[in-house]
Chain A
């Protein structure tokens, strides 16, 4: 801060109105805590560089979780350890912004260890402030990745040992093994001489971001008087007498002058964002122009609101059939929802999905009592048969289910889906055979429209015809059956 007066920077709120309770003037930090000092150095730098209006402060989980009480900037509070991932997204989506990611040692070096490593390795152009006080302060003083050997915490009551807990993690050195970071320094908050060095480092790191240089991080050794059970002055001295011996101060990386900065929108840091048009082409999203809409099909009243549960093995196209139904329903003026539920397996696990097609807006996508059940294999029929509403429909895959449903109060339609699909040359089309069968009996959708629009749900052109044939075959198979 230049000028004659040193006072609260403008990058802080004058009153912390977001803070609950009557006291909106002081921070929630304990007496002698290092966070307030680092906050002040950051806020002062944002003031002096004139970037407060475009600054976004990312708070972590930890004592500094309430950064948004204090910083008069944009604010996002990230999930535990994810500040660097959130900061990545913020900066990439808003390249003109100045993103400050603020993390403690548990958050950054413990829970978010991989997040910071990857963000630094990608050379994301934001600034990280890493407060290292060698302890989990917020939760009451548990061992952190940076806790010193011998240090007593609530989870290392006999002191940390390398045999039990490993060695303290030196993050500034660790990140310095990576190519991308442009500026890494470890500083100390406490004694004035060191605090003023920290001030310089804070400014240098933020400046590097403003100039588009890339990833910068300042690790600040900082006191946690309450967590360490010391009075503030002793805690401050412990930082510089003890903590610093294991965490040496200094610059571990400074490439700032060698790196060419970039101006957002001009040279783009070498990153080429895909334009929307390119993106649409790459991932094969059908474009709006080719989409025709169809009138709402005329069907029996009970199909004005259908709750369809489709279930089977992973790989049977269970989820795709749901997508197909809802996508086609959407083209035919229904309100639709699709909710998948599946295990971690791509093939062989069990999967089911919930599809609603309704003349009215849909409140929730979850289905407990389906009006239409589509079991593609035996376990699915056993699991869901009883849940179907009275008077509902069951379309079951009779190729794989040899014991028909026992319910007599529902309409039961066997569909030889897998066999029919096999006859068409690909068993994977069994789901579309089922779609044709459902249409034949319910009139939920217009079959011709479904066949015409098949390319909307089948991305690979060479499979479009197969699936069109499958729908037709399923339709034909059931149309002749009475039920």
Chain B
């Protein structure tokens, strides 16, 4: 497993996560985990470990919350950072 290069990028909406961990279980490159922090609903939300996302979108499709996850298949920080914020 090569987790060095990040082709894709994943953003979580912390307040829309119920900590079911289906994305963590499904991620083929194992770059997701549940945060040790709690969100306002009292769940440990899923979070990106910080590198290695391939942009495959698997987490997006297994996530039961419609707006919980946003995935860039190809992510260019210079181009995309502004629209994410």
Please pick, from B58, B64, B71, the residue contacting A36 in the complex, using a CB distance under 8 A. B64
Report chain B residues within 8 Å CB of A115.
Answer: none
B29-63 interface code vs A (CB 8 A; 1 in, 0 out): 00000000000010100000000000001101111
Report chain A residues within 8 Å CB of B69.
Answer: 6-7
Report chain B residues within 8 Å CB of A199.
Answer: 61
B50-84 interface code vs A (CB 8 A; 1 in, 0 out): 00000001101111111101111110000000000
Once the chains bind, are A8 and B64 in contact (CB under 8 Å)? no
Once the chains bind, are B70 and A37 in contact (CB under 8 Å)? no
Report chain A residues within 8 Å CB of B13.
Answer: 25
Once the chains bind, are A232 and B60 in contact (CB under 8 Å)? no
Once the chains bind, are B60 and A34 in contact (CB under 8 Å)? no
Please pick, from B18, B21, B65, the residue contacting A233 in the complex, using a CB distance under 8 A. B21
Given A5-B71, A6-B57, A25-B15: A232 touches B22 (CB 8 Å cut-off): yes
Once the chains bind, are B72 and A36 in contact (CB under 8 Å)? no
Please pick, from A8, A23, A41, the residue contacting B67 in the complex, using a CB distance under 8 A. A8
> Closest residue to A11 on the B side, CB-wise?
B66
Please pick, from A27, A39, A192, the residue contacting B58 in the complex, using a CB distance under 8 A. A192
Once the chains bind, are A37 and B63 in contact (CB under 8 Å)? yes
Give Cα A34–Cα B71 distance, bound, in whole angstroms: 20
Once the chains bind, are A4 and B72 in contact (CB under 8 Å)? yes
Interface residues of A in 16-55 (CB under 8 A from B): 23, 25-27, 29-37, 39-41, 43
Give Cα A327–Cα B16 distance, bound, in whole angstroms: 60
Once the chains bind, are B62 and A26 in contact (CB under 8 Å)? no
Closest CB in chain A relative to B78 CB, distance in Å? 15
Interface Cβ pair total, 8 Å cutoff: 93
Report chain A residues within 8 Å CB of B20.
Answer: 31-32, 225, 232-233
Once the chains bind, are B18 and A31 in contact (CB under 8 Å)? yes
Give Cα A413–Cα B66 distance, bound, in whole angstroms: 73
Give Cα A37–Cα B59 distance, bound, in whole angstroms: 11
Confirm or deny: A9 has a beta carbon within 8 angstroms of a beta carbon on chain B.
Answer: yes
Confirm or deny: A195 has a beta carbon within 8 angstroms of a beta carbon on chain B.
Answer: yes
Q: How large is the interface on A (under 10, 10 to 19, 20 to 34, 35 or more residues)?
A: 35 or more
Report chain B residues within 8 Å CB of A192.
Answer: 26, 28, 58, 61-62
Closest CB in chain B relative to A396 CB, distance in Å? 68
> Closest residue to A33 on the B side, CB-wise?
B64
Given A32-B64, A36-B65, A191-B26: A5 touches B70 (CB 8 Å cut-off): yes
Given A4-B72, A7-B71, A43-B66: A32 touches B22 (CB 8 Å cut-off): yes
Once the chains bind, are B64 and A27 in contact (CB under 8 Å)? yes
Report chain B residues within 8 Å CB of A334.
Answer: none
Confirm or deny: A236 has a beta carbon within 8 angstroms of a beta carbon on chain B.
Answer: yes
Give Cα A199–Cα B60 distance, bound, in whole angstroms: 12
Interface centre among B18, B65, B66, B73 (most CB of A within 10 A): B66
B8-25 interface code vs A (CB 8 A; 1 in, 0 out): 000001011011111001
Report chain A residues within 8 Å CB of B71.
Answer: 5-7
Give Cα A329–Cα B85 distance, bound, in whole angstroms: 70
Report chain A residues within 8 Å CB of B73.
Answer: 4-6
Given A5-B73, A36-B64, A37-B61: A26 touches B18 (CB 8 Å cut-off): yes
Closest CB in chain A relative to B40 CB, distance in Å? 9
Give Cα A190–Cα B26 distance, bound, in whole angstroms: 9
Report chain B residues within 8 Å CB of A232.
Answer: 20-22
Once the chains bind, are B22 and A233 in contact (CB under 8 Å)? yes
Once the chains bind, are B65 and A26 in contact (CB under 8 Å)? yes
Once the chains bind, are B70 and A7 in contact (CB under 8 Å)? yes
Give Cα A288–Cα B48 distance, bound, in whole angstroms: 71
Once the chains bind, are A196 and B61 in contact (CB under 8 Å)? yes
Report chain A residues within 8 Å CB of B28.
Answer: 192
Report chain A residues within 8 Å CB of B66.
Answer: 8-9, 12, 27, 36, 39-40, 43, 70
- The 19 sampled A-B contact pairs (Cβ below 8 Å) are A4-B72, A4-B74, A6-B57, A6-B60, A7-B69, A8-B67, A23-B41, A25-B13, A25-B16, A27-B65, A29-B64, A31-B19, A32-B20, A32-B22, A32-B64, A37-B61, A37-B64, A192-B58, A199-B61
Q: A6-B57, A23-B41, A225-B20 are in contact. List 7 more A-B contacts (CB 8 A).
A: A5-B71, A27-B66, A31-B19, A34-B64, A41-B61, A190-B62, A232-B22
